[in-house]
Homo-oligomer: A and B are copies of this chain.
Amino acid sequence: MSKQISSVWTREPRPARTPGRSREEIVRATLELLDAEGLDGLSMRKLGARLGSGATTIYWYVENKDELLELAYDHVWGQIALPVPEELGWRDTITTFAHSMRRVMLFHPWVGSLIGRLPALGPNALSMSDRLRKAFALAGFEGLDIDYANAALTAYVFGTVIPEIAWQSSMGGEELDQESMKETFRHVARDFPDLLERLTEINDKVSDTDTLRETSFAFGLTTVLDGLEARLRS
């Protein structure tokens, strides 16, 4: 007795008959709630209220909350720029894509917690995968190497942006007190003088943390792309 994958995308949606009550309507309201209040702010009761219905009405259109999140999840992937590799060349395609992906994720921070929690089988996620693989094939990768290159790139973007989201939302729009931050570092890193020196150097040198993170992202992206080129030449 082996397991089956379970996803909204394997089921046909209920037809929309009642006006203002459909999968699309529900997804729209879900996205509004997620963008406004984050993942913790989304509850079936609140969503019901926003839709002007009972909370349990939603279960007619969707099997459970995770399916709802799958729908919202895929909607976000749909907002990422997907250049055409044949026009732009593989390296610029990937670069444009990666920066766009980062921006979209930072704009919908709740996706960070969904990566690795939900399957990504929606049309937008698949279209993204498809386009990326085409870019890597154009670059010269063959067979499984296409998938490996694809995995390496998306891993880098996910792995960068997920902690960025954390940073962003831990500040919650407010400024982080520079002095108490330094004080915290001094306390927790008291046994690691070299590390402490690096952290304070960053703090002193960089006034704008946004551009610091942007620069760091670009550095790593170049690193991954250079590494892939090295592999193509060998």
**Contact between B134 and A188, CB atoms less than 8 A apart:** no
**Contact between A134 and B194, CB atoms less than 8 A apart:** yes
**Contact between A126 and B195, CB atoms less than 8 A apart:** yes
**Contact between A222 and B216, CB atoms less than 8 A apart:** no
A82 at the interface (CB under 8 A from B): no
A44 at the interface (CB under 8 A from B): no
**Contact between B170 and A160, CB atoms less than 8 A apart:** no
**Contact between B216 and A223, CB atoms less than 8 A apart:** no
Count of residues in A whose CB is under 8 Å from the partner chain = 81
**Contact between B170 and A119, CB atoms less than 8 A apart:** yes
The one of B7, B160, B191, B227 in contact with A222, judged by C-beta atoms closer than 8 angstroms, is: B227
A42 at the interface (CB under 8 A from B): no
Q: Mark A123-138, 1 if CB is under 8 A from B, else 0.
A: 1001101100110000
The one of B113, B123, B147, B224 in contact with A202, judged by C-beta atoms closer than 8 angstroms, is: B147
**Contact between A130 and B192, CB atoms less than 8 A apart:** yes
Contacts of A224 in B (CB 8 A): 152, 156, 223-224, 227
A154 at the interface (CB under 8 A from B): yes
**In whole Å, how far is A200's beta carbon from the nearest beta carbon of chain B?**
12
User: Interface with B: A18-26, A28-36, A52-60, A176-184, which one?
Assistant: A176-184
Question: Copies of this chain, how many?
Answer: 2
The one of B159, B184, B205 in contact with A121, judged by C-beta atoms closer than 8 angstroms, is: B184
Within 102-143 of A, Cβ neighbours of B (below 8 Å) are at 112-113, 115-119, 121-123, 126-127, 129-130, 133-134, 143
A5's closest neighbor in chain B, by CB? Answer: B184
Contacts of A145 in B (CB 8 A): 219
Q: A119-B170, A162-B116, A216-B148 are in contact. Are A2 and B175 (CB under 8 A)?
A: yes
Q: Which 7 A-B residue pairings sit nearest by Cβ, starting from the closest?
A: A159-B159, A227-B227, A155-B159, A152-B220, A223-B227, A116-B166, A158-B159
A contacts, CB < 8 Å to B: 1-5, 7, 9-10, 112-113, 115-119, 121-123, 126-127, 129-130, 133-134, 143-149, 151-152, 154-160, 162-166, 170-172, 174-178, 180-181, 184, 187-189, 191-192, 194-195, 198, 201-202, 205-206, 215-216, 219-220, 222-228, 230-231
Interface CB pairs A-B, < 8 A, 10: A2-B178, A7-B184, A112-B116, A126-B195, A146-B198, A148-B216, A149-B223, A151-B160, A155-B163, A230-B230
